Amino acid sequence: MRDASDRGPQNSDQVTDMATPVMRSLGEILANASEVKVREIVGDISVKVVEITHDSSQVVDNSIFCCVVGEQRDGHNFAEAAKKLGAVALLVQRRLDIDLTQIVVDDVRSSMGFIAAEIFGRPSKRLKVVGVTGTNGKTTTAHFLASILNQHGWSTTVFGTLSGTRTTPESTDLQRAFAAEASGGRQAVVMEVSSHAMTLRRVEGTNFCVTIFTNLGQDHLDFHKTTEEYFAAKARLFSGQFTGVCVVNRDDVHGSLLIDSLAAEPGIVCATFGADDATQVETSVGKLGFKWRGEKIQVSCGGQFNLMNALAAATAAAELGVAPRDIAKGLAAASAVPGRFESIDAGQKFGVIVDYAHTPEALQNVLTAARQLIAKDRRVVVVFGCGGERDHSKRPKMGSVATKFADVVYVTSDNPRHEDAQEIIDQILSGVGESRTAQVEVDRRRAIGAAFSNAKPGDIVVIAGKGHEATQTIGDEELKFSDADVSRELLRFAS
């Protein structure tokens, strides 16, 4: 156990308590952002800078505009618009024919986080920042840890799936958000770090007191192409560039690989957690209890799989110097996480669980946890689909998991986006074995209603895939749709 708050400097010469950064010359900023490998400077580096953004519509006077090359848009094409709005310098990958100072680098994404961190006074060094990555459990682990730290007396904010449009913001937005939290008196930030964020260099320039690895399953292979690339993206977070303290799930195959690799990393402390850290484990629909390091712990979140999320948070808190007694208090104070094994009770005679599970591993975990909560002669019913324009290869696997671990399966639409919902369903059904069956109802509301109509007393209906989401995306339309709200409405109508 150690106080990770002592890792690295907590102040910078440029740090102020003001929300607005200090106006400084571009030359001074670049001299202090030594991580940036500048290929060429075009123009005058004595220009004064106070802001940085990758979004041309957010440019203000004395900004650096970062010309990010994306899949669909090239930021270099918006340089003139940025100049008109007050940009005084550009971060570019190629020289432009424009009368502005230009910082030419090999990759804008890899550089802009470091420059942003310097402009905002290295804000992550003024905070205790914890990064959580993994396929499943990031949101719940972050939520649990924030509750512990708040109970410990450290004012803590969570950045992640429930707090923004992106799990992890772009680096310019992230550093600005850190600065706002520090200026507002926050002491800690617990943030989810996605594999996309690591690949797209969104956390460059961030100092993490602790980083947490929950697990690795199948997801985002539409983006990463292979499991090896997916794991490599997440593993980058566990290096000396970002942290000196790592907390890793030793029960996970990839967690074990990560532990082995960290053993060869000088200056890295690796703390591990696993299911056998806990004893006297008890679960119910809305509660989890266990004993850990001599403390009896109660959490207001059901499901056996949430034991690992609680252990991840507890172990990280211990590495930050929080005593087991205070960790137990913090976990007890944690409220249920929206859309994470969320129990819906409208007086019905069967259980209803809404969960964000949208990977094969997560769906198996939720269905297994539901099975543990019912009598042997009762049934687990599942309603789920798969999102459009996402990893196609997991769809048949989801179908296989659903029909293997549930007694009754309703396959429906999730967020089809611009794909045909029936084609997505057909791909899911291709994973259903000949000896198993699944019912199809494309309309998600009707599928949930059918599951409720056929549920018997003592059964559990699991509605998986969307969790906390309040909308459903079909084509260009974003329609209001919450699994929890729809469930309550249907249950009230049925009663």
Task: State mean pLDDT over 53-73.
Answer: 95
Residue whose token pair is 């290869």:
393
Does the predicted TM-score (pTM) go above 0.85?
A: yes
In whole angstroms, give the CA distance from residue 170 to residue 58. 13
Long-range CB contacts (< 8 A, 24+ apart) of 321-325?
A: 321/1, 321/2, 321/3, 321/4, 321/5, 322/148, 322/149, 322/152, 324/292, 324/293, 324/294, 324/295, 325/295
Instruction: Supply the pLDDT for residue 20.
Output: 72
**Comparing C-alpha atoms, which of 114, 456, 147 is closest to residue 322?**
147
**Comparing C-alpha atoms, which of 342, 304, 354, 303 is closest to residue 464?**
354
Task: State mean pLDDT over 319-339.
Answer: 96
When pLDDT is cut at 50, 70 and 90, the band that residue 19 belongs to is low
Task: State mean pLDDT over 276-286.
Answer: 94
CB 194 within 8 A of CB 161: no
pLDDT digits (tens, 9 = 90+) for 430-444: 999 888 899 999 999
CB 127 within 8 A of CB 178: yes
Q: Which fold has domain 123-333?
A: UDP-N-acetylmuramoyl-L-alanine:D-glutamate ligase (3.40.1190)
**Comparing C-alpha atoms, which of 64, 60, 102 is closest to residue 84?**
60
**Domain-wise residue ranges, the chain:** 22-119, 123-333, 342-494
In this predicted structure, the answer to whether residue 339 has a pLDDT above a threshold of 70 is yes
In this predicted structure, the answer to whether residue 14 has a pLDDT above a threshold of 70 is no
Q: Which class does domain 342-494 fall in?
A: alpha beta
Residues of the chain above pLDDT 70, percent: 94
Instruction: Supply the pLDDT for residue 96.
Output: 98
11: number of Cβ within 10 Å: 10
pLDDT digits (tens, 9 = 90+) for 31-51: 999 999 999 999 999 999 999
CB proximity list for 148: less than 8 A, separation 6 or greater: 313, 314, 317, 322, 326, 327, 330, 331, 334
Instruction: Supply the pLDDT for residue 15.
Output: 36
Q: Is the CATH code 1.20.1250.20 the one for domain 22-119?
A: no
In whole angstroms, give the CA distance from residue 108 to residue 102. 12
In whole angstroms, give the CA distance from residue 149 to residue 156. 7
pLDDT digits (tens, 9 = 90+) for 93-111: 999 999 999 999 999 999 9
Provide the β-strand partners of residue 91. 66, 103
Residue whose token pair is 């939720």:
366
Helices 394-405 and 360-371: crossing angle in degrees, nearest 10, is 10
In this predicted structure, the answer to whether residue 409 has a pLDDT above a threshold of 70 is yes
When pLDDT is cut at 50, 70 and 90, the band that residue 16 belongs to is very low
In whole angstroms, give the CA distance from residue 410 to residue 402. 9
When pLDDT is cut at 50, 70 and 90, the band that residue 137 belongs to is very high
CB 37 within 8 A of CB 105: yes
Instruction: Supply the pLDDT for residue 461.
Output: 98
In whole angstroms, give the CA distance from residue 417 to residue 77. 28
pLDDT digits (tens, 9 = 90+) for 195-229: 889 999 999 999 999 999 999 985 545 554 688 89
Q: What is the DSSP-derived secondary structure letter of residue 74? A: B
What is the rounded (10 degree) CA torsion for 211, 212, 217, 220? -40
Mean pLDDT rounded to a whole number for the chain: 93
pLDDT digits (tens, 9 = 90+) for 422-481: 999 999 999 998 888 999 999 999 999 999 999 999 999 999 999 999 999 999 999 999
